[in-house]
């Protein structure tokens, strides 16, 4: 789905954002609700997110995990680089 919004951001939906970040759709919505990621509501049930920001945060999370500074195990099904 392509929607024109007055922004220069590379937009993605909730499902794609969750896949990029490696988490659930609910967690993406929680991050947005707490202002930790940018989001824009375009209808009652549709939100869009900045895909570049999500990728950057996912890389930061992975770097912290590799450095041993982030607790928890690597998500199941994710291929290592």
In total, the chain counts a number of residues equal to 81
Q: For residue 70, what pLDDT is reported?
A: 79
Q: How far apart are CA 63 and CA 16, in angstroms?
A: 21
Q: Please, which pLDDT band fits residue 18 given cuts at 50, 70 and 90?
A: very high
pTM of the model: 0.75
To the question of domain 11-66 being in CATH 3.40.50, the answer is: no
**Domain residue spans in the chain?**
11-66
Percent of the chain with pLDDT over 70: 80
In the structure encoding, which two tokens stand for residue 55, read together? Answer: 């990728």
* pLDDT of residue 74 exceeding 60: yes
> Do residues 57 and 21 touch, judged by C-beta distance below 8 A?
yes
> Do residues 42 and 4 touch, judged by C-beta distance below 8 A?
no
Q: How far apart are CA 16 and CA 53, in angstroms?
A: 13
Compute the average pLDDT of residues 42-56: 93
The angle subtended at Cα 39 by Cα 32 and Cα 53, nearest 5°, is: 90
Residue-averaged pLDDT of the chain: 85
Q: For residue 71, what pLDDT is reported?
A: 77
User: Higher confidence at residue 31 or residue 1?
Assistant: 31
Instruction: Show Cβ contacts of residue 68 under 8 Å, excluding neighbours closer than 6 positions.
Output: none
């Amino acid at each position: 789905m392509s929607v024109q919004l007055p922004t220069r951001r590379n937009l993605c939906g909730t499902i794609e954002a969750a896949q990029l970040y490696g988490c659930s759709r609910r967690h993406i919505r929680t991050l947005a609700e707490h202002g930790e990621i940018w989001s824009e509501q375009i209808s009652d049930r549709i939100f869009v997110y900045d895909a570049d920001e999500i990728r950057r945060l996912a890389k930061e999370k992975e770097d912290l995990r590799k450095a041993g500074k982030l607790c928890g195990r690597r998500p199941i099904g994710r291929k290592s680089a």
